[in-house]
Amino acid sequence: MRAGYDYDGKYLLDLNMAYNGTDRFAASHRYGIFPAVSIGYNMTKEKYFKDMFPVFGLFKLRASYGLVGSDVAPGNRYVYNQTYTGGPGYNFGQTAQPYNSYYEGNLANPNVVWERQKEADLGLDMNLLSNNSLSITFDYFHNIRYDQLITPGNTPEILGVGLPAINLGKTQNQGFDGSIGYHNSIGKVLYNMNFVFSYAKNKILFESEPSPAYPWLARTGNSIGQPFGYHSLGYYSPADVTEINNYIAQHGSNTGNTIAIPDNGIAIQAGDLKYQDLNHDGFINVYDERAIGFPNLPNTTLGLTLGAQYKGFTVTVLFQGSFNYSFIITGTGIEPFESQFQPIDLQRWTPATASSAQFPRLTTIPTTVNSPTFYPSDYWLVNAYYIRMKTLELRYQLPSKILPFHLGSGSVYISAYNLFTWDNYHKYQQDPEITTNTAGDAYINQRVINIGAQFGF
């Protein structure tokens, strides 16, 4: 889509017709034509612009629009074929003759076609100041992906057979990215800086799902990977438990009570987690789940590289950061009497610690309202960010005249990795770069410091 963007002439117009064929689909759907067009205009080639803005060595506007296709299917399985799989054997008759069995796989779909994406991009490249010491690149993109292969979720399970993937899904992804670089000198000290950034947010425009009983249950309209769960209101107090028991004793049920209880048959105790009853029926169940937090993939990433040179000395530093993502710890990472990583027993709810407790009361029942596995909620969710000094290196290039054995080059250095990290992770012992681990038991990235020497012949 960005063909020709390195062109530094005055104009650029690029027409691209991509023709792609594959034998992965049915015969009538094996080919696709995906046109694209891009245009660029380097304004510094115009005399009037150069006269008005001599500070610019480059000022290039870019735009592109086109269609791309993907033949990658979920699980790399192209679902137009009907499958039958061997099952367990059965014995029939008085002599118990064994026979093989087969069962039907998901229904076939002979109409699988390419996933397609409309891509639009607007860009700007600039070099300015003396010696083009400042460079800026910026891109805005807006993509619509459609005909995505998804399994329909709005068909009753009474059908009795698995459904094939169908080209139904539609999503949107838009954002911007770019970089800012600067290099200069102060006396004999050379220094440079490069800052890169990216922001992208996607949205599900259509997902085949059952009509939700309540609007807050719909996945369509949210981001891909959006977590759903309960909204925490803190802990049940002893007064809450007394009010619930009195209400049930008078009415025979908790229906209509302003203090809702979990619909799991397990009696509430003080120190259990309390959640918002969104539909006001007096019970906490799947109808009270809603979108919580951010998806697990950061939508904003930043990177900053700093460097300086003086005579034989060189120093480089790399910072990186991610923002606007969420994670939740489940399983052995947080369950009472199982976790080896969190001080649950020291920070649990008790009547004495009710105002400062970091975790609910302890219980040996794994399916209570306190379990993040069975009751995911924003109580356990961390809306996370981090900035990390990823690498630091100080190097000294040894003068050739002091090198022995006719060595061609030599240097000594000290380098460090993961030296400092700033984040908002206070509840869990979790490394900020490990965003996909929900068990909470992944080994934290180590802080490493190396001292060494390097020689060349």
Q: What is the pLDDT of residues 112-154, one digit of tens each?
A: 888 999 999 999 999 999 889 999 999 999 999 999 988 898 8
Residue 244 lies inside a defined structural domain of this protein: yes
Q: What is the mean pLDDT of the chain?
A: 88
Q: Is 333 exposed, middle or buried (0-12, 13-18, 19+ CB in 10 A)?
A: buried
In this predicted structure, what is the pLDDT of residue 274?
97
Contacts of residue 187, defined as CB under 8 A and 6 or more positions apart, other chains included, come to none
pLDDT exceeding 70 applies to what percent of the chain? 91
Region of poorest pLDDT, from 101-105, 214-218, 377-381: 101-105
Question: Does residue 76 carry a pLDDT above 70?
Answer: no
**Is residue 286 situated within a structural domain?**
yes
What pLDDT is attached to residue 3? 40
Dump pLDDT digits (tens) for 337-367: 777 777 888 889 999 999 999 999 999 898 9
Q: Is residue 441 part of a domain?
A: no
Q: What is the mean pLDDT of residues 190-203?
A: 97
Nearby residues of 393 by Cβ (< 8 Å), 6 or more positions away: 314, 315, 316, 317, 413, 414, 415, 416
Length of the chain: 457
Strand 313-328 to 56-70 pairing? unpaired
- Whole-prediction pTM value? 0.85
How many domains does the chain fold into? 1
Residue 5 clears pLDDT 70, i.e. is over it: no
Q: Does residue 251 belong to any structural domain of this protein?
A: yes
Residue whose structure tokens are 């996945």: 219
Is residue 413 within 8 Å of residue 340, measured between CB atoms? no
Q: In terms of pLDDT, which residue wins out, 24 or 131?
A: 131
Query: Which of 94-108, 250-264, 415-429 comes out lowest in average pLDDT?
Result: 94-108
Contact 377, 258 (CB under 8 A): no
pLDDT for 100 equals 85
Query: What is the Cβ-side half-sphere exposure of residue 96, based on CA atoms within 13 angstroms?
Result: 0
Cβ atoms 271, 361 nearer than 8 A: yes
Mean pLDDT of 304-323: 96
Domain that holds residue 237: 232-291
* Residue 399 confidence (pLDDT) above 90: no
Q: What is the radius of gyration, based on Cα positions, of the chain?
A: 30
What does the DSSP assignment read for 334-373? TSTTT-SSS-HHHHB--TTSTTT-SB----S-TTSTT-TT
Q: Worst-scoring range by mean pLDDT, 36-50, 104-118, 134-148?
A: 104-118
In this structure, are residues 424 and 384 in contact, taking their beta carbons and an 8 Å threshold?
yes
Q: Does residue 254 belong to any structural domain of this protein?
A: yes
Q: What is the secondary structure of 273-311 as a DSSP string?
A: EEE--TT-SSEESGGG-EE-S--SS-SEEEEEEEEEEET
Give the pLDDT confidence score for residue 79 in this predicted structure: 66
Q: Is 261 left (phi over 0), alpha (psi -120 to 50) or beta?
A: beta
Task: Confirm whether 68 is domain-assigned.
Answer: no
- Residue 333 dihedral angles phi and psi, to the nearest 5°: -70, -20
Q: Is 164 within a domain?
A: no
Please give the residue that has the higher pLDDT: either 415 or 410: 415
Which residue type sits at 78?
A: Y
Give the three-state DSSP class for 27.
helix
In a domain, 246, yes or no: yes
pLDDT at 437: 67
Q: Are 60 and 40 in contact (CB under 8 A)?
A: yes
Could you read off the pLDDT of 199-242 as tens digits, one per residue? 999 999 999 998 899 999 999 999 999 999 999 999 999 999 99
